[in-house]
Chain A
Amino acid sequence: MDSSILTILAFFPLLGILILLVVDKDRLGAIKTIAFVTSLLIALISLYIYFNFKPDAPGMQFSINKTWILSLGINYHLGIDGISLFLVLLTTFLTPLAILSSWSAITDKVKGYYISMLFLETGMIGVFVSLDLFLFYVFWELMLIPMYFLIGIWGGPRRIYATVKFVLFTMTGSLLMLVAILVLYFMNHNLSGTYTFNLLEINKLPIPLGTQFWLFFAFALAFAIKVPMFPFHTWLPDAHVEAPTAGSVILAGVLLKMGTYGFLRFCLPLFPNAFIDYTWLFSILAIIGIVYGAIVSIRQVDVKSLVAFSSVSHLGFVMLGIFALNIQGIEGGILQMINHGISTGALFLIVGMIYERRHTRLIEDFGGVSKKMPVFAAFFLIVALSSIGLPGTNGFVGEFTILLGTFKSNVAYAVIASLGIILAAVYMLWMYQRTMFGKIIHPENEKLRDLNLREKLILIPLIIAIFWIGIYPTQFFTRIEPTVKSLIENAKMKYEKNKLLDESLKVDSRQIKQIE
């Protein structure tokens, strides 16, 4: 059971798709129910993993390693550890909510839509549990397809531009990553004599510093675009503004985390020297992202693009924590990935709910909404506060831990990044004021109905998560910590080893030259 559970988890959505394929495309109720129940079952399976996860073990758990394509050394290798556990849970937790949120918003090509959603879930889980570079790349690219359709078919007026931009940006990065993966593959063969894409094997590979630099940047570019880090972020606002609500939720909630996850899973263990030597570059880009994203958010006129730019700022915090390279920084970073998924996911759901009523997302079209929709206003306020990191909510725990770690590694970085916290209050509260407070000036808003039961059921789990992580995050930290500890230790050890190796290589080559 334990070795096949990840397989079941990753491919369970396909089972749902198989059933959907035989359902008549006009039986909307049946289609929605099947999709929702499938995603709910997946969430239950992921809970099994959570409860059977050994908190004190740093290594991979529930792993499976079977030969897939023998002649090329490609294996079907899955596993989960403290870094990926909560990202998988985030995926399985957000997908049912995203599906439920599409209930009345999606009326066109319904069957294709839910098939895409489930297909996307397989791709996302696959990315987080793959331990074979080839398999990882397959899932990484596979996930693009349903997202491409979600934005391109069910999106807004400029959906084609947005979806092509999204795919082109991502592909540019991932092609370089593919080249780097192949280089690693052949390098490994040269040194060990075997062809393998096994990440855990390749991790042991001593890579000369010069080569590390190039490979690191090939991977880092792919991930930095995905995060997105400044200045590769411009695909994000476009994609979000055009994507349907559920697409935005998944995009912001899960897809962006693949970038930050990539830095932790691949860049740091594979290329610790390049990673550590270029910490300054990524930290500075992260800080620019934090401040820049927040300032640009202030004057946004569309709520969705405001949330998109705020994501640039929040993901900057995650990157800053990861590149602080200490326990608090990285743990805070991982927790903040989850927090951002919850808070920003909830923000997009909230925007979607108001959009369904008014078919506009422009801030100026609202005002005084809390009079007509008090329950909505209360949910919105809680989520906005969690997004600006109010103590007691999840955002605070993540941001503070990150800043604490950053403070240790570089005081100036922490000071500048903390400015982002002030700016977050500026853009979020101003937007909230203009949409929810004031008098109703647009007559259309007089008829607004408060949230219905389905909408409340979507938001309540997220609200619970916000306070749970905000008040009692211990379960999260204890499960993340062993993996992070060993990640940092190994990276630092490998850093020193590679450095020594490099120096001895230099000495060797000098001696050889002298002999010549």
Chain B
Amino acid sequence: MNYVYLIPLFPLLGFLINGLLALSFKTRSDEKIPGMSLVSWIGCGSVGLSFLTSITIFFKLLALPAGERVVQKIAFPWILSGTFHVDIGFLLDPLSSVMILVVTGVGFFIHVYSTGYMAEDKGYARYFSYLNLFTFFMLMLVLSNNFLLLYLGWEGVGLCSYLLIGFWYEKKTASDAGKKAFIVNRVGDFGFALAVMLIFWTFGNLNFTSVFENAPQVLAFGGGLVTAITLLLFMGATGKSAQIPLYVWLPDAMEGPTPVSALIHAATMVTAGVYMVARCHALFLLAPISMGVVAVIGAVTAIYAASIGLVQNDIKRVLAYSTISQLGYMFLACGVGAFTAGIFHLMTHAFFKALLFLSAGSVMHALAGELNMQKMGGLKKHTPVTFWCFLAGTLAISGIPLFSGFFSKDEILWKAFSSSSGHFLLWLVGVITAGMTAFYMFRLFFMVFLGKSRMNPHVEAHVHESPKPMTIPLIVLAVLSVIGGYVGIPKSLGGSNRFEGFLSSVFEGGHEVSAEATAHAPSAEYLLMIISIAVVLTSIFLSYRFYIKNPDIPKRLAAKYKTAYNILSNKYYVDEFYNKVIVNPLLNLAWFLWKKFDVLVIDGTANGIASLVKWGGGVIRKTETGYLRNYTLSLIFGAMLILAYFILR
């Protein structure tokens, strides 16, 4: 395990090489894409190597006794100032090992997919260098052994997200979206940074192991300090993981290339907030108020984003809102103390959402970049592989039994109900969201692949299945989406939940909560499971009625409930609201402070003093007339004044 540093090092080297290649290519030729295969080998190879290393390390960790699966490796000291000491150091435990496997595994297949998807793009080398840089920062984030290095990865992935969203920088909407993502994330990071400082001055240390070990002694249960720390940390998470109120950047982030949406804005980066909250569970469990906030924000975001997803027509936007909604699920899990369930859903979601995005990319590839679902339909016969893979992903995300999403989603719903910090309402919101999810996902699936073609005939003539580099990753991810849940079959269904067992050494506190939960009768769990399955199946049936059987229904409904439809299709006007309340006032303030205050008041004062001196000089100068009679007059006048003074004294 001494070579854990290799895991982030490979993608870093890949970035450096591809970055230099990208710069040197550009200056030489603009016509063809030179060195494409070299770039591909470096880009995919570096992540592949780090995937292999991760697997080796995972098994080494597994070979250790359960209690000893925590390994720290310090590379070198980073910042040393007075008592402040923070290292570049790595922490390897079951939680981080799951994360590195997801990041490098899913990441590797998305890299491979990109070789096909981006083959026509002139910025090929630049693209792969950014993708590798992202992988590097993401791995630093999940492998860090302290808060500040996590923050480095945290902001680093944000940078790559900025670069990749705005990858086609000549498009204004793309560069706007990149900038928006960065700035909104910085708002969250503001909270995160303050939390880090608060943690340091509370514990005198930023090392995870030491902070979490000392937390119960240093912090009072439910006290103001731990509540402040955890709420500030969660503020960071709402930015990175796109939760209310900072989710607004993620839908716009779909301006980036689709594999980027799959890797960064679905499978890995946006789950960083969930990872961070789970990593800090020792702190969160000490702050019931914060836990409540996490659960409620998660649940509200889940249903809120799902409701927007019901009416969107842009294939990637639907998936984006779906991602926000699913991230809400993960926070709901964390908020009720079911951290294992949150991480479990994080993993299965990484499989099926990456799959859905990549399939959507394959559809776009087939349709010359078309995003509007109203102009698709009947793609099944043209793109069979994509069709089957997309179906697998849709079944998984909808929570159909035996598919991966079922196990993780059901685990969350059950915990939301049964955990000591859970609540019936949280469960209810979760179930309704599950129904909505099934509805909009099947709506998407039906509108794209089944029914009659609404394609532009010109486009339809060129529809084709994607090349092998794209379909193979699809198939791999489809398989994972189907079987990925079997590592965590709950005990009530006769499984042994090995996933939970593996992570239990990390979430000892969370484990107590779930142990408490099993005190409920298993019959209750079955009942809830049956209800949620019923809701999902009903939704699918409705979706079928709406979009296959009787395509007029949605139009009629939209006309009938015009206000509600408009609110949903305009995403509750939140962007407009933020523009009006934050963005424009800030711009106006900037203009006012510069043009009115700085130029007129401050600089005006400085120049005013200068003018005053100049004016005074001008006045006094007038007395210097050069006429003897004037001087004599003032002389006599002065003498009289002096005389008067002495006489009158």
Compute how far the CA of A425 lies from the CA of B155 in the bound complex, rounded to whole angstroms.
12
**Which candidate, B98-106, B554-562, B587-595, is the interface stretch facing chain A?**
B587-595
Our pick among B76, B169, B201, B587 for the contact of A299 (Cβ within 8 Å) is B587
Chain A residues numbered 163-198 whose CB sits less than 8 Å from any CB in chain B = 165, 168-169
Do residues B169 and A375 form an inter-chain contact, with CB atoms below 8 A? no
Compute how far the CA of A408 lies from the CA of B201 in the bound complex, rounded to whole angstroms.
7
Do residues B594 and A296 form an inter-chain contact, with CB atoms below 8 A? yes
In the complex, what's the smallest C-beta–C-beta distance from A72 to chain B, in angstroms? 32
Do residues A422 and B190 form an inter-chain contact, with CB atoms below 8 A? yes
Within 8 Å of chain A (Cβ to Cβ): is B512? no
Within 8 Å of chain B (Cβ to Cβ): is A313? no
Do residues B190 and A296 form an inter-chain contact, with CB atoms below 8 A? no
Within 8 Å of chain A (Cβ to Cβ): is B479? no
Within 8 Å of chain B (Cβ to Cβ): is A374? yes
* In the complex, chain A residues whose CB is within 8 Å of the CB of B67: none
Do residues A403 and B197 form an inter-chain contact, with CB atoms below 8 A? yes
Do residues A438 and B169 form an inter-chain contact, with CB atoms below 8 A? yes
In the complex, what's the smallest C-beta–C-beta distance from A179 to chain B, in angstroms? 19
Compute how far the CA of A437 lies from the CA of B84 in the bound complex, rounded to whole angstroms.
40
Return the chain B residue nearest A408 by Cβ. B201
Render B75-89 as a binary contact track against A, CB cut-off 8 A, 1 for contact. 011111111100010
Do residues A422 and B187 form an inter-chain contact, with CB atoms below 8 A? yes
Do residues A433 and B591 form an inter-chain contact, with CB atoms below 8 A? no
| Given contact pairs A328-B82, A368-B170, A438-B169, A298 touches B159 in the complex (Cβ within 8 A) | no
Return the chain A residue nearest B201 by Cβ. A408
Render A319-344 as a binary contact track against B, CB cut-off 8 A, 1 for contact. 00000001110011000000000000
Do residues B182 and A425 form an inter-chain contact, with CB atoms below 8 A? yes
Do residues A421 and B193 form an inter-chain contact, with CB atoms below 8 A? yes
Do residues B159 and A390 form an inter-chain contact, with CB atoms below 8 A? yes
Within 8 Å of chain A (Cβ to Cβ): is B586? yes
* In the complex, chain A residues whose CB is within 8 Å of the CB of B212: none
Do residues A438 and B170 form an inter-chain contact, with CB atoms below 8 A? yes
What bracket does the count of chain A residues touching chain B fall in?
35 or more
* In the complex, chain B residues whose CB is within 8 Å of the CB of A418: 190, 193-194
Tell me what chain B mostly uses at the interface: helix, strand, loop, or mixed.
helix
In the complex, what's the smallest C-beta–C-beta distance from B557 to chain A, in angstroms? 40
Do residues A375 and B186 form an inter-chain contact, with CB atoms below 8 A? no
Chain A residues numbered 332-368 whose CB sits less than 8 Å from any CB in chain B = 332, 368
Compute how far the CA of A299 lies from the CA of B592 in the bound complex, rounded to whole angstroms.
10
Within 8 Å of chain B (Cβ to Cβ): is A505? no
In the complex, what's the smallest C-beta–C-beta distance from A197 to chain B, in angstroms? 31
* In the complex, chain A residues whose CB is within 8 Å of the CB of B26: 374-375
Within 8 Å of chain A (Cβ to Cβ): is B156? yes
In the complex, what's the smallest C-beta–C-beta distance from B471 to chain A, in angstroms? 33
Our pick among B152, B183, B198, B603 for the contact of A391 (Cβ within 8 Å) is B152
* In the complex, chain A residues whose CB is within 8 Å of the CB of B328: none
| Given contact pairs A332-B81, A433-B179, A472-B76, A231 touches B602 in the complex (Cβ within 8 A) | yes
Chain B residues numbered 575-605 whose CB sits less than 8 Å from any CB in chain A = 586-587, 589-591, 593-594, 598, 602-603
Render B20-62 as a binary contact track against A, CB cut-off 8 A, 1 for contact. 0011001100000000000000000000000000000000000
Render B176-202 as a binary contact track against A, CB cut-off 8 A, 1 for contact. 101100110011011001100110110
Within 8 Å of chain A (Cβ to Cβ): is B128? no
* In the complex, chain B residues whose CB is within 8 Å of the CB of A390: 155-156, 159
**Which candidate, A110-118, A134-142, A474-482, is the interface stretch facing chain B?**
A474-482
Within 8 Å of chain A (Cβ to Cβ): is B610? yes
Do residues A391 and B156 form an inter-chain contact, with CB atoms below 8 A? yes
In the complex, what's the smallest C-beta–C-beta distance from B569 to chain A, in angstroms? 28
Our pick among B19, B77, B83 for the contact of A474 (Cβ within 8 Å) is B77
Return the chain A residue nearest B27 by Cβ. A450
| Given contact pairs A419-B190, A426-B183, A234 touches B603 in the complex (Cβ within 8 A) | yes
Compute how far the CA of A326 lies from the CA of B197 in the bound complex, rounded to whole angstroms.
15
In the complex, what's the smallest C-beta–C-beta distance from A338 to chain B, in angstroms? 14
Q: List 16 A-B contacts (CB under 8 A).
A: A165-B606, A326-B82, A327-B81, A327-B82, A328-B82, A370-B169, A374-B27, A391-B154, A391-B156, A408-B201, A414-B197, A418-B193, A429-B182, A429-B183, A437-B170, A481-B82
| 13 more A-B residue pairs beyond the given contacts A327-B83, A404-B81, A474-B78, with a C-beta to C-beta distance below 8 A | A295-B593, A296-B598, A299-B590, A300-B594, A328-B82, A331-B81, A390-B159, A397-B79, A425-B182, A433-B166, A474-B77, A474-B79, A474-B80
Which 7 pairs, one residue from A and one from B, show the smallest C-beta to C-beta distance? Answer: A327-B82, A391-B152, A298-B590, A437-B169, A437-B175, A299-B590, A234-B603
